[in-house]
Chain A
Amino acid sequence: MSQRPTLPNGLVAIVKRDCATCLMVTPVLARIAAEVGLTVYTQDDPTFPVDPAAIHDADLSVSWHHEIETVPTLIRVIDGQEVDRTVGWSRAAWQALTGIDDLGSDLSVMRPGCGSLSVDPNLEDELRARFSGSVLRARRVEIADAEDEIEALFNRGWTDGLPVVPPTEARVLRMLAGTNRAPSDIVAIVPPDLIEVTVEKVAINAVMAGCLPEYFPWVLAALEAACTNEFNIHGVLATTMPVGPVVICNGPGTRDIGMNSGMNVLGQGNRANLTIGRALQLVIRNVGGGRPGEVDRATHGNPGKLSFCFAEDELGSPWSSLAAARGIADGADAVTVFAGEGPRCVVDQLARDPDSLANTFASCLRTLHNPKLVLAFDAVIIIGPEHARVFSDAGWDRERVLQEIHSRLQISGTDLARGAHGIAEGIPGHLEHLTLPKFRPDGLLLVHAGGGAGMFSVIIGGWANGEVGSQPVTHAVRY
């Protein structure tokens, strides 16, 4: 942080010529200066006002450090400390602050001020970098004039295969404004290299991913959740299976930041959905050191490993949310990370009764990864609104839907045994006398999302579950 300039004792005004209210109070400034003394800082024209002559806040250092948002601002300073301020023109407030009873009696009672140059959207990022840049600890990388910034980032191996936004100081500082956490705070220990990652490093990668600052708390929460022992991002990264972290967002904050939970929910076109998931993966890559072909040994991978993040449609849902089902209080924002493959569609356009639709879900889920493998993998069901309506019209709640699907997925061991149905894969022969469930009791996660038209749902298959693999993890978003 650069040095905060000390204001002189007495009264201090901050003005600019390009402000009608500042022009209006010019005689008032002259009177205050004559009667009780006044120091004036001017933001734009050093010759304004004429009386008293102003100090030019040319680099806006005074305005920035003293958090001037409106001009004129009138401040009283005692022993170098601000004790009072008023913004814009308010006759009563100026009279009280100066002690001059009839000050500005010929002016209107009040007039709003204008925006300070120090909060001008076109200048603010540069000023933040100029005055706060030293809070950033990351190594500076100078890109030569002749070098293309985008290509330079590719050449250093810092991208996921798509161009990234160059992480300048100004952009990173703006990203950090999205959280109340200090840049030096440790967010998580990131596998595979087990690196303590700071808020600042996450912000750099969030900039590169294309996030807006208001997305940043979601990136931090997703990263915290992914870097738990339960979620085991190391294994999710290293596995030969085609899985990556799927980030499911819940809470009113998803709507505040404009996430998509409706039409094309898993597709292209929504900045928040795409960049939050991407930022998480860039942190794993750049900070954790998890790169394809190195620790990432995926046989095929899937396109969702670039980013796989979406919000639940809570307002349109007939049921409680996934986050609520996982212990998050109503109205709180949360992320759930799930080690998942790409989405597959469940089509049932004829279902009008819930039993028929439950049969469809069970039949589709039965084939997950292999029809003869059971208990080893979880799955997310993203139920489309038109399918959810079939269940809710029949009075089925979330628990009933899951229970009905589970009850249809109790499979005879003779159908699962190795060699049965001409398929070598399966359970060991000594278990064939058992009836086994396809999924463990909490192995299905139900989420309501998608467009209003289409009797479709989506299944996201999981990876090795439980203690040996990955557990879904839900974390509250902290601001």
Chain B
Amino acid sequence: MSAVLLDPTNERRVAEITRLTRPASLAGLTIGLLDISKARGDVFLNRLETRLVAIGAEVKRFRKPTFTKPAPVDLRHEIASQCHVVIEALAD
């Protein structure tokens, strides 16, 4: 007789979301720079900001309270509602 086992997983059906098409140019767009609070992430993002402003982008800076936890939902919403593009500085 074949065995019947119980599924140990979350049985989640993953929803697939189509990515937005990449913008042809960043000029004139609002770009969020997310600092995850890891050491020297700000060095990288400061340099990016200089470069992005130079090509006509508007830059908004955001920061996670700690790199060890996911970004709070309010922060994610804030970024999504204010920015066209986001760049995250991931590690040290």
Chain A positions within 8 Å of B, measured between CB atoms, are: 136, 138-145, 149, 152-153, 158, 166-169, 172, 190-193, 195, 197, 201, 204-205, 208, 229, 232, 234-235, 238-239, 282, 286-289, 464, 467-470
Choose the segment among B8-16, B17-25, B49-57, B75-83 that binds chain A (4+ C-beta atoms closer than 8 Å): B8-16
User: Cβ of A468: which chain B residues have Cβ within 8 Å of it?
Assistant: 37, 65-68
Complex Cα gap A42–B70 (Å): 61
- Check: B43 CB closer than 8 A to any chain A CB: no
Q: Are A172 and B68 in contact (CB under 8 A)?
A: no
Query: Which residues of B1-52 are within 8 A (CB) of A?
Result: 1-12, 37
Using known A-B contacts A238-B68, A468-B66, A469-B66, determine if residue A169 contacts B4 with beta carbons closer than 8 Å. Answer: yes
Q: Are B69 and A282 in contact (CB under 8 A)?
A: no
Using known A-B contacts A235-B69, A468-B37, determine if residue A143 contacts B6 with beta carbons closer than 8 Å. Answer: no
Contact of A166 among B5, B37, B65, B69 (CB under 8 A): B5
Q: Are A232 and B6 in contact (CB under 8 A)?
A: no
User: Cβ of B6: which chain A residues have Cβ within 8 Å of it?
Assistant: 136, 138-141, 167-169, 172, 204
Closest to A173 in B: B6
User: Cβ of A234: which chain B residues have Cβ within 8 Å of it?
Assistant: 68-70
Q: Are B7 and A168 in contact (CB under 8 A)?
A: no
Using known A-B contacts A239-B68, A468-B68, determine if residue A166 contacts B8 with beta carbons closer than 8 Å. Answer: no
Complex Cα gap A192–B12 (Å): 13
Interface range, B side: 10 to 19
Contact of B5 among A141, A190, A288 (CB under 8 A): A141
Complex Cα gap A149–B5 (Å): 9
From residue A124, how far is it (CB to closest CB) to chain B in Å? Answer: 18
From residue A471, how far is it (CB to closest CB) to chain B in Å? Answer: 11
From residue A275, how far is it (CB to closest CB) to chain B in Å? Answer: 15
Using known A-B contacts A195-B10, A208-B8, A289-B10, determine if residue A149 contacts B66 with beta carbons closer than 8 Å. Answer: no
Q: Are A193 and B10 in contact (CB under 8 A)?
A: yes
Contact of A193 among B5, B12, B65 (CB under 8 A): B12
User: Cβ of B67: which chain A residues have Cβ within 8 Å of it?
Assistant: 468
Extra 13 A-B pairs, beta carbons < 8 Å, given A158-B9, A289-B12: A138-B7, A138-B8, A143-B3, A143-B5, A153-B5, A168-B6, A169-B6, A191-B70, A229-B69, A234-B69, A238-B68, A282-B8, A468-B68
Using known A-B contacts A232-B69, A467-B66, determine if residue A140 contacts B5 with beta carbons closer than 8 Å. Answer: yes
